Chains A and B, each alone.
Chain A
């Protein structure tokens, strides 16, 4: 199969001729036929090299006209994977697109819109996001989704790219990627673990550069978080090592593991073995092992019996990541709350509904055989309670549900546990919207078409129900005079949401109405310099415009504004939860949300306040309190925001300068 006949090249040339000589009307059809030749050529290395030679010429001949690939400077490296997995002809076009970008990166051809550096950077990012292809280690999910032939094409593409580009940049990007992911302390650590494992196996990290050192912290956290684990890497060997160790050895093991856990947010299976041993025989070492702060230690001392039971019932080799959640939960003093203790007690005793059990097991990759779905669910609950900002939506269009879980975990943990219990036992959920009781099982489909199970256990349980209820609320509130979220947010998230609601989009005139007034309210409500230095008490569900790296409008997204504060450098920044967990974002116009280094708590994203302000279209506020602050917002500040907005997503709308009575 490696050698392809001249006939294939001749066919390609023939289709190419037909394509270039076709009129504009049949171009698409001719392009599809040409794609079938690209498909075949991309199966072999000499075919790929041939395509590489032709790629820039094909680009100029207009093969990407009227397709998503038409403007190479607007392509998003993060999206490459999805297109490659979509099958022919989409994947064939994507392959050709990468090849032409490689030519631009190598300076073999020139494109007006993309420089060689930009092209190089695009390819490096594409490789970082497609390591499974670059390293020929497709994940289970990918193997199920793609045919062998498609996989072969894509493997072939990446080995071609890797043989042409310099890999140093990629290693650096990988280290940064791992750091960024872990800095956000996601509940679901699968992606971080996969990346770290891949780097460990495929790159030489033994050097002494800063990158090597940084990377090794993460590698050690997973594979050798202590001296004992370094020597006894086998699971059973480590267990017998622990059994035979004295207190001083256990102490140093506990310190080491606690430190790695706190530094990375990652927990290894060894940690689970050690912690169970300590709970049983050396309880005084538990706070060390969990690297607890003072509040956490006090909490442990007060509730050590309950917490010990919880650990012994829940923590296992595979179900180890919840140890970090537990440490954080102790630090949040959640056990001191009576409702939380009662609800947790209830959760430990439930019988999980078989449908829900199926969903839970489906979300696990390599579950311990003797650990039940309930144990995983309790572990998952601990994680959500310990890390409210680590909730993510995965590859699902369910930012609303993720935002809700995060909010309840922060402000109503017992209510969240109750909700988990209801759904886990009944596989059903009731919420109220105005005068209707919405029963999720009686509702039609939500936004979710087919759930991506790459999600944490609690999300897997709750999201299908929350999603349906949210969607039904939206349906009931649609057709009123304003954005349905004005009513839905209150019902969906609870009493923490302010009744006042501002949206710059006017439903009746289909335009952006009084954006200046809108921005003034936002500043007067949340900017500490103009609202009398008031802090936000509760998260605020916001709607934002998502833009690409050129500021072009892509769509809408739900996030939560958590707080507005001075950053370490004295800049006023908005700190928010972005449930899509995507750290490396570029929203264009120099607006790049950061996830660490600007005073963010783990899981927060942040932006300078004015930049943030230029991307929002709806928020809640206190319509009574805001009145006294409105006049104090400087006009030039509003103008600055307005200009950024108009230059980006604003181009997609008509702007109405009329003043609105807010």
Chain B
């Protein structure tokens, strides 16, 4: 068992889960959190994680963490993946651990690695300006044997190192490139549109093997998901398990959790979208904890530990034959109007048997949405559902995603 986990980033739910496990940990985050940490007796090391300099670097942080006897670093956020990678390189005496962290932070490098290893990915390229995107789309059109007058092939652009949907743009035509792309988007990754049904999974890895695989059914990306997966994806579980293990092997991941996104085609082919190795958004681990009745956040941290025993691992995760009793889903609510003054909760939600609870908050007077939203922006609250039928769950999530809660 690890001497002490260094949690890279501030997350109250994770801290609370760790307190419950009784395992030693220290939180490394910005000095702003120090007063709160002191007040609540949370072991804390203030560090300027947004700075890389003579006084702020992994060697220095390594020295400072000695006081806490830390020997495993756990990235909680996209932005702390390299920090954790660098520290774990030192802890494990393996320089390549840091390189692997870079893999997660550069989507072009990630795709290349996946391609070399034999995963099916789309066509991709690093682009440096609008002309580059146009050239890419043109080559894609050619490859797709476009005839005069036919629509252009879709191209996605995304920053190399951002979480989830942040900075992601879908370009459906040449003119889209002129209209939607900003100079500040570049350089970035351009890739062809992958078809298939999109879903994510969360694979908890220890000693290079999947210890637990969660599959999350996306009803609408960024808005709603539920766990466990519905009937169709469930029938593909073995296939998915195999493919995820393949990805883990290709990337050489030994410890932690990966959160890959896949596109499942009608021919049962899995196209690789991308993967992350931090806590996924959308309250996924919260749903996962409820559905499988274990503490997924604690499990996330603990499976980073190279020295954990098999018994300890078995104690963390649900039993191999565990069958969730219910489907747990949520829908994140965003205002659909630019200007709104009230929170309006529809009557039918009260008596909806699947409804569990929500965290919606009334807007303050005259609240407006700011013009630029990153990714999906911050949602205003979440509605949680629980029930036995995945199809009914899908229907509900679809319905409430369309409802105007903010008017």
Chain A contact residues, CB within 8 Å of chain B: 1, 4-5, 7-8, 11, 14-15, 22-26, 29, 32-34, 36-37, 39-40, 43, 86-91, 145-147, 149-150, 449-450
Contact = CB atoms under 8 A, between A and B. Distances in A.
B366 A450 contact: yes
Given A25-B40, A149-B347, A11 B359 contact: no
30 contacts: A1-B350, A1-B351, A5-B353, A22-B16, A23-B20, A24-B40, A25-B12, A25-B15, A25-B40, A32-B359, A33-B384, A36-B357, A36-B359, A37-B357, A40-B350, A43-B350, A86-B362, A87-B342, A87-B361, A87-B363, A89-B362, A90-B362, A91-B362, A147-B342, A147-B343, A147-B344, A149-B344, A150-B342, A449-B366, A450-B366
A33 B366 contact: no
A11 to B, nearest CB: 6
Contacts of B362: 86-91
Contacts of A32: 359, 361
Interface string B318-360: 0000000000000000000000011111010011010111111
Nearest to A23: B16
Contacts of A146: 342
Contacts of A37: 357
Nearest to B345: A149
A233 to B, nearest CB: 39
B19 interface: yes
Contacts of B150: none
A14 B19 CA distance: 22
A88 B345 contact: yes
A26 B16 CA distance: 7
A146 B345 CA distance: 12
B13 interface: yes
Given A88-B343, A149-B344, A4 B350 contact: yes
Nearest to B39: A24
A111 to B, nearest CB: 26
Given A87-B343, A149-B345, A7 B353 contact: yes
Contacts of A43: 350
B354 to A, nearest CB: 9
B310 interface: no
A187 to B, nearest CB: 26
A15 B343 CA distance: 22
Contact of A11 (B16, B347, B355): B355
B391 to A, nearest CB: 20
B402 interface: no
B365 interface: yes
B230 to A, nearest CB: 23
A1 B347 contact: yes
Interface in B276-330: none
B365 A450 contact: yes
Interface of B: 12-13, 15-16, 19-20, 40, 341-345, 347, 350-351, 353, 355-363, 365-366, 384, 407
A11 B365 CA distance: 31
B246 to A, nearest CB: 37
Given A26-B12, A39-B345, 13 more contacts: A4-B351, A5-B353, A8-B351, A11-B356, A15-B357, A25-B13, A29-B12, A29-B13, A36-B360, A87-B343, A88-B361, A449-B365, A450-B365
A146 B12 CA distance: 33
Contacts of A89: 360-362
Contacts of B358: 33, 36
B381 to A, nearest CB: 8
Contacts of A11: 355-357
A22 B363 CA distance: 27
Nearest to A40: B350
Contacts of B13: 25-26, 29
A168 B19 CA distance: 54
Given A25-B12, A26-B12, A39-B345, A88 B351 contact: no
A13 to B, nearest CB: 12
Contacts of A450: 365-366
Contacts of B361: 32, 87-89
Nearest to B365: A450
Nearest to A28: B12
A4 B345 CA distance: 16
A151 B366 CA distance: 20
A150 B343 CA distance: 9
B71 to A, nearest CB: 24
A16 B180 CA distance: 47
A33 B359 contact: yes
Contacts of A25: 12-13, 15-16, 19, 40
A5 B342 contact: no
Given A8-B350, A23-B16, A25-B40, A33 B342 contact: no
Nearest to A3: B351
A23 B12 CA distance: 10
B346 to A, nearest CB: 9
A527 B402 CA distance: 68
A24 B365 CA distance: 30
Contacts of A1: 347, 350-351
A11 B358 CA distance: 11
Contacts of B363: 87
Contacts of B341: 145
A25 B33 CA distance: 13
B331 to A, nearest CB: 14
Contact of A5 (B345, B347, B351, B366): B351
A91 B345 CA distance: 14
Nearest to A146: B342
Residue among B19, B351, B407 facing the most chain A CB atoms (10 A cut-off): B351
Contacts of B365: 449-450
A206 B329 CA distance: 60
Nearest to B19: A23
Please list the 10 inter-chain residue pairs (A to B) with the smallest Cβ-Cβ separation, ordered nearest first.
A87-B362, A33-B357, A36-B358, A25-B16, A25-B12, A36-B357, A23-B16, A147-B344, A32-B359, A147-B342
Contacts of A149: 344-345, 347
Contacts of A5: 351, 353
A89 B355 CA distance: 17
B345 to A, nearest CB: 6
Contacts of B384: 33
A7 to B, nearest CB: 6
Residue among A32, A34, A37 facing the most chain B CB atoms (10 A cut-off): A32
A40 B355 CA distance: 11
Residue among B19, B345, B353 facing the most chain A CB atoms (10 A cut-off): B345
Contacts of A15: 357
Contacts of B342: 87, 145-147, 150
A236 B297 CA distance: 76
